[in-house]
A and B are shown apart, each in its own frame.
Chain A
Amino acid sequence: GENVEQHPSTLSVQEGDSAVIKCTYSDSASNYFPWYKQELGKRPQLIIDIRSNVGEKKDQRIAVTLNKTAKHFSLHITETQPEDSAVYFCAASPGGNQFYFGTGTSLTVIP
């Protein structure tokens, strides 16, 4: 089955700096890559996703890039704010609705 690895496990940045979280996947059939944000004590929420026919997608301060050849994808957050502090999960889906999640990155934005 699919195996998703996520790095780093923790990340601290100063407010206003950029944050990058990286994930790799193993199954070349995976074609959908969502990112979820989970604030403390709350549910994971979808913040951005990308499909395998696209190399990059941007939504305001958040962008995701995908390198299918290397089987890795990344989340980029620019101009970080304290409210960006949360745990971020990447996931990969080889089809249907089954997702394989990474182990999460705890992001802390220091004011």
Chain B
Amino acid sequence: DAGVIQSPRHEVTEMGQEVTLRCKLISGHNSLFWYRQTMMRGLELLIYFNNNVPIDDSGMPEDRFSAKMPNASFSTLKIQPSEPRDSAVYFCASSPYRMYGYTFGSGTRLTVV
């Protein structure tokens, strides 16, 4: 099993541009979580899905952020338009539904200039 796969690993973009981060879940996992990590705020949960359905998106900073899960194994996090304060490492994690233990992806380091 290749684990949770995120792409790209690094993204540098200009302010105002659209950014799309991608995540492939571990086969058989039903829950998907998007986290943002910064020095100031630590690990913040942005949104999570169970069986492709968004359960809690209260952590999404604002309407510029959106997340989708078009199928059971894949998710995207989109920022449009991006701003410098969005610069962070974005992790996705997956787990079997209603069981314990996350597996994190390698993260995407986003820099908005």
Contacts and interface: CB of A to CB of B under 8 A. Distances in A.
Same assembly: yes
Interface string B76-113: 00000000000000010001011111111111000000
Interface residues of A, number: 18
Interface residues of B, number: 21
7 contacts: A32-B100, A44-B91, A49-B100, A49-B101, A89-B42, A97-B33, A97-B98
B31 interface: yes
Given A89-B43, A97-B50, A104-B42, A43 B95 contact: no
Nearest to B41: A103
B14 interface: no
Contacts of B57: none
Contacts of A93: 100
Contact of B100 (A42, A97, A104): A97
Contacts of B53: none
A46 B102 contact: yes
Contacts, number: 45
The interface residues of chain B, by DSSP majority, are classed as strand
B91 A34 contact: no
B56 A34 contact: no
Interface string A17-57: 00000000000000010100000001111100100000000
A87 B52 CA distance: 31
